Structure 1
Amino acid sequence: MTSPAQPSSLAAIAALPKADLKSIFTTDTDRLSKLVLSQGPIRFDWSKTHLTDDLLAGFLDLAQEQDFAGWRDALFAGQAVNNSEGRAAEHPAERGEGNADSVAHAKMLHQRMRGLVDAIEAGALGEVRHILHIGIGGSALGPKLIVDALDGDGVRYDVAIVSNVDGTALERALEGFDPHTTLIAIASKTFTTSETMLNAASAINWMVEAGVDDPYGKVIALTAAPEKAMEWGVDETRILPFAESVGGRYSLWSSIGFPAAMALGWDAFESLLEGAAAMDRHFRLSPLAENAPLIAAFVDQYYARVQGYQTRALFAYDERLALLPSYLQQLEMESNGKSVTRDNQPVVGPTAPITWGGVGTDAQHAVFQLLHQGTVISPVEFIASIEPGHVLDPAHHRALLVNCFAQGAALLRGKENADDPARAYPGNRPSTTILLDDVTPEALGALIAFYEHRTFANAVLMGINPFDQFGVELGKEIAKSIEADGATGFDPSTMALIELALGGE
């Protein structure tokens, strides 16, 4: 397995002419059969992108040159694909796909979690009506997305998920919570994450001040460092470990998903895992030319690396998926926002674009002006569901879907207006549509796994490691230095800010 900084096949791709989207369906009459793919409860439509037969052939050459199949096999075999830290990346094992020993270990840990869920439901920890989940990054974004997306199926507990160290976030989360019937879940891979542990300490103080007997007895630890949790004061019986080889932004399938399992029920959590496992099998076994995550990565590579578009917009035309853009920001930008290859050579050209987005139809009245007529071109991804998430007048959902499909058509077609250029639309702007049968646990699991594998496929095509995140460390180190030493040795601007806001402490 190699990772050249400038694959020769990428240069060949860049030399190919850019297709005209306005006429592409005329010149390629069987386009839908080639660029629309259904996998389980999800339909992927890349026909409104600039992919042509020649580009697809070129990207398949790139995948072969970058040994995509070898890296994919290594991922599922539990090999050290995270080479900078010497670790495997075994989130698929949490879904039952991967190295046999790792799969067996994950199943054992899931049974441990299910046993605790059953015990809590049976009253082993007293009455529980509220769950306060404290984490940050992947330890919060994943559970928050799942609970928010699926809460229409009947959430059984009030769930608040807190990540920000700003005390306002914790105060707001605790409003309406009874400390005597609240369970605290602390999610931290190392159980040393400073923001998480500060929030956890404040939550314990909130219970103490309310006169709760044995506040630590109401704490569940979700961690890859159980010994640290025990040192902090959590009893071993209430620690739910997960494997060191499961990265934070890939961890919602592990015990980090505990609040979702509690709120939605174990059957829903298992369906989430099963949906993801089906996408794992598709990614692992499908021919490259019919592989949804890889084809999506081809689109990403074309626009980011060949055309130089610096952003990718994602719009969920379903309120249940409102948090998906935020979730994908971390998944994609923390994974692939790198500047060196696996062998520490500079990456030639761009890597991950900036992921941004929002919810339709709100976004149409906010940012679509730029997408249709602005000078910054951003590939757009639309996500929608055939079935609505409500029982109101079907006109609501029809209007939602009509707007979603109309926006993709408008970006493609454009509109000429020689007499009034301010009312002209250039068109020829790409979009992808992902259509779910419904936002069910199975479909959501498959969708998230699709994005995980797409992120990995992009990394392989660029020759980078998507599983480390050293770029977040320097700011943490400086923050610790300020806490320990005060305003010494920094630039004048930083020192002045510390003096003004912290009194030079």
Structure 2
Amino acid sequence: MAHLNEQPAWQKLSDIADAIKFEHMRDWFNNDPKRAEKYTVEAAGITLDYSKNRINQEVMESLFELAEQCNVAEKCSAMFSGEQINFTEHRAVLHTALRNFSGKPVMVDGKDVMPEVLATQAKMKAFVASILQGEHKGYTGKPITDVVSIGIGGSFLGPKIMSEALKPYWQKDVKVHFVANVDGSHIQDVLAQRDPEQTLILMSSKSFSTQETLQNTITAKQWFLANGGSETDIAKHFMAVSSNIKAATEFGMAEENIFPMWDWVGGRYSLWSAIGLPLALAIGWDNFEALLKGAFSMDEHFQNAPAEQNLPMIMALIGLWYRNFFNAQSYVLLPYYHYLRGFPAYVQQLDMESNGKQVAGDEAVEYETGPIVWGSEGTNGQHSFHQLIHQSHTLIPADFMLPLKVPNQDNTHHAMLASNCFAQSQALMQGQSHKEIAEALKDKGLKQDELEVLATHKTMPGNKPSNTLLFEQLDPHTLGALVAMYEHKVFVQGAIWGVNSYDQWGVELGKVLGNQILDKIQEAEEAPNFDASTNQLITRFVDSLK
């Protein structure tokens, strides 16, 4: 197979990018009254308006050709059918099986994994009910009122951010708190406000040895034992999502309170598994199941919709268009909804950990891969970093997100929110020319040279691209579809770039070196033997502890 940048569609796209770089979207809208309608698609409760992008029909057709030449459809089928597409770790990639409501088997190495998935979900459902209905009692006979969820990476970000997004669905009698930071201040602050008699500690670590997660769990155990609990009481107050049953039971956890993890589910895709237990406890099982069903509806759409109507496919190809043909190093997510404010951080991990790679197959790539992903909630950004997006030379594509309805809706507030969202995407696309500004300033009593200078500073070139994603409301089903849409977007881009989107060797290196340095810090009496800078830093830190 030809290298990606040797594909005919890639060459064609390169030529098109050169040809249209000086064309302006403003003119395209003026010349085509149906442009917005032409470039709007809907699926699974989400509407995507991608008309404010520097694309035309020739661009889109060439992008679809590129996806076809890179066998994206075949790679999609391989993922859903359980083939080992994580080729560096010889694993299937089957987070989609965790939300499979088709009733069809999903095979891994000749074995249908669905019976085990469904059994785990049944166990999760029963456990959630026992906590929320007050049946699971602490060691003094009191019901659980607080759950402290301890994890890191995907085991932390997914449940935490989705629970924030679904705050209107929180259950009344149980509160869930999240801890990831190994900085002791965090776990101490959270535990200081809890009653150990009514607190459940939920630890998520596949190996039961993740440095930050294990230390926070040990600290929680020390707190529990120091405040009236005993070793035998640990079984009622500590549980785990882990593959290491031996380590968890030796810690004191009851085996029936240990939930499985599978090698074919990566951490950043684990929300749908028992890693989602804290979220299910926060919003209730019915709402958690609705989240799964929303993701399943997007899975079905992604597999079956033709490319020109396929939301993840379109978003992936447009993102690749900017990354590889306009040198866009980043893109920004702008949710205009307070509860969705953490979503950019979730997509940041999903995208950057998946496609931040430099090797395709067994060769270093000659093109850029994963972009930098960042963002924050809507109107706050307008008063800070939007300035750079509007007027700098840097091209930063944006995804705007807005629910049409919100809980306890105040029409004035929500109309202001929507107007800001729509105005920002319009301003990015349309801009404001020097001539238009000069005309607006001519009655301000300015001298001509002052007018010219001010008009120059106020000129905005426009032609800055964005997508707008609308949904009726951000309920669990829609949120599930939204997350799955971004997962599949990442998959498509990785499939075209040829990278393995499902390993994370850069993350693993940091873990290994962190453990090595921790050993040196704790051994103190032995001189560190790393590079001169790291040795100096370790020595300075060790000396500060004396």
Q: Does 1:414 align with 2:449?
A: no
Distance 1:7 1:70, change over 3 A: farther
Partner of 2:42: 38
| Aligned mates of 1:104, 1:299 — CA distance in 2 | 38
| Aligned mates of 1:493, 1:122 — CA distance in 2 | 54
Equivalent residue runs for 1:313-328 within 5 Å: 313-328=332-347
Secondary structure (helix, strand or coil) at the match of 1:432 reads: strand
Query: Contact 2:144/2:198 (CA < 8 Å) preserved in 1?
Result: yes
| Aligned mates of 2:170, 2:355 — CA distance in 1 | 36
Query: Contact 1:3/1:464 (CA < 8 Å) preserved in 2?
Result: no
Partner of 2:488: 453
Q: Does 1:117 align with 2:128?
A: yes
Partner of 2:165: 149
Query: Contact 1:145/1:327 (CA < 8 Å) preserved in 2?
Result: yes
Partner of 1:490: 530
- Which runs of 5 or more structure 2 residues have no equivalent in the other structure? 436-451, 522-526
Q: Give how far 1:44 is off.
A: 0.7
| Aligned mates of 2:183, 2:312 — CA distance in 1 | 37
Q: Give how far 1:173 is off.
A: 2.1
| Aligned mates of 1:217, 1:483 — CA distance in 2 | 32
Partner of 2:438: none
RMSD: 1.7
Deviations 1:195-217 (A, max 9, x none): 10000000111111111241343
Q: Does 1:99 align with 2:134?
A: no
Query: Contact 1:4/1:66 (CA < 8 Å) preserved in 2?
Result: no
Larger deviation, residues 106-115 vs 399-408: 106-115
Paired AA for residue 10 in structure 2: L
Q: Give how far 1:7 is off.
A: 4.1
Partner of 1:11: 11
Larger deviation, residues 245-254 vs 173-182: 173-182
Query: Contact 1:412/1:427 (CA < 8 Å) preserved in 2?
Result: yes
Secondary structure (helix, strand or coil) at the match of 1:59 reads: helix
- Which runs of 5 or more structure 1 residues have no equivalent in the other structure? none
Query: Which residue of 403, 417, 426 maps to 1:400?
Result: 417
Partner of 2:378: 360
Q: Give how far 1:475 is off.
A: 2.1
Query: Which residue of 198, 217, 222 maps to 2:241?
Result: 222
Query: Contact 1:136/1:164 (CA < 8 Å) preserved in 2?
Result: yes
Partner of 2:539: 499
| Aligned mates of 2:246, 2:225 — CA distance in 1 | 24
Query: Which residue of 350, 369, 385 maps to 2:403?
Result: 385
Larger deviation, residues 353-362 vs 368-377: 368-377
Q: Give how far 1:180 is off.
A: 1.1
Q: Give how far 1:178 is off.
A: 1.1
Deviations 1:110-155 (A, max 9, x none): 0111122223334233310000000000000000012111121233
Q: Does 1:336 align with 2:355?
A: yes
Query: Contact 1:92/1:280 (CA < 8 Å) preserved in 2?
Result: yes
Query: Contact 1:384/1:435 (CA < 8 Å) preserved in 2?
Result: yes
Query: Contact 1:90/1:102 (CA < 8 Å) preserved in 2?
Result: no
Secondary structure (helix, strand or coil) at the match of 1:55 reads: helix
Q: Give how far 1:493 is off.
A: 2.1
Query: Contact 2:389/2:396 (CA < 8 Å) preserved in 1?
Result: yes
Q: Give how far 1:360 is off.
A: 1.3
Query: Contact 2:26/2:430 (CA < 8 Å) preserved in 1?
Result: yes
Query: Contact 2:136/2:144 (CA < 8 Å) preserved in 1?
Result: no
Partner of 2:302: 283
| Aligned mates of 2:2, 2:488 — CA distance in 1 | 18
Partner of 2:29: 25
Normalized against structure 1, the TM-score is what?
0.96
Query: Which residue of 391, 395, 406 maps to 1:373?
Result: 391
Partner of 1:181: 198
| Aligned mates of 1:333, 1:316 — CA distance in 2 | 19
The structure number with the bigger radius of gyration is 2
Larger deviation, residues 306-315 vs 173-182: 173-182
Paired AA for residue 130 in structure 1: D
Larger deviation, residues 151-160 vs 374-383: 151-160
Partner of 1:240: 259
Q: Give how far 1:224 is off.
A: 3.3
Q: Give how far 1:504 is off.
A: 8.5
| Aligned mates of 2:220, 2:315 — CA distance in 1 | 42
Equivalent residue runs for 1:438-449 within 5 Å: 438-449=473-484
Q: Give how far 1:425 is off.
A: 0.7
How many residues align? The count is 502
| Aligned mates of 2:502, 2:491 — CA distance in 1 | 9
Q: Give how far 1:189 is off.
A: 1.9
| Aligned mates of 1:37, 1:350 — CA distance in 2 | 28
